[in-house]
Amino acid sequence: MKAESKQDGLRTRRVDSDDARVVKTRERLVRAYRQILDEDPRHPVTVTEVVRRAGVTRSSFYAHFAGADDLAAVALTEFNAAVVALARSEVREGLPKSEVNRRVIAEIAAFVAERRDTYGALLARGDDFARSVTAAFAEQALVTLRTRETLHADPEITARYMGAGLIGVLSWWLDNDDDRSPEELAQALIAIAPPDFVD
């Protein structure tokens, strides 16, 4: 295991910071990344473009992120967190879990499909990007499972299964240019989802 660099230590403190300036800078960087990617999803986003759009320095960028791939992972996991938060409220309001979770998967699939050149390439590498996104998705699933009154299986195992399964299938789907729509992919995944994610 390699020793943590001074920059890594600073980055870790920034991620966990409640300081309004730190939070605002991080949000500006993520927003700039998303805007650039949305404007031209086929063009790889560079650190130079992000700092220019966000109006921050490169050193400020690297105080928050290890690189553009790290920022891409944060953008995807923040999108997932927002979709999942809405889904949790819908389930609490009484909507069927299977329908809500099918929609969540379809929205995530559509998000990465619209940005296929970026996210498909990043997921296909199977490196730190895929591992960090898988871990973040599993953590979101675990948070969801902890809101359930009763569970059918071990929540940690179920969450890891859902996170790794979703990222694995998305990676395969993007890499193979599978012709299923995001909706069809979501329906296929819900059909095999653990009982805790369906009615």
**Residue from 10, 30, 19, 143 nearest 78 by CA:** 30
Instruction: Indicate the helix (H) or strand (E) that contains 86.
Output: helix 68-92
d(CA 12, CA 64): 8
Confidence of residue 13 (pLDDT cuts 50, 70, 90): very low
Q: What is the pTM of this model?
A: 0.83
List, for residues 154-163, the tens digit of each pLDDT value.
Answer: 999 999 999 9
Cα 21 to chain centroid distance, Å, stands at 24
Calculate the dihedral angle through the C-alpha atoms of 144, 86, 17, 166, rounding to the nearest 10 degrees: 60
If you search the block for the tokens 């996991």, which residue do you land on? 77
CB neighbours of residue 100 within 10 Å: 21
List, for residues 27-77, the tens digit of each pLDDT value.
Answer: 999 999 999 999 988 888 999 999 999 999 999 999 999 999 999 999 999
Domains detected in the chain: 6-64 (no CATH), 68-197 (1.10.357.10)
Phi and psi dihedrals of 108, rounded to 5? Answer: -65, -45
Contact criterion met (CB below 8 Å) for 157 and 196: no
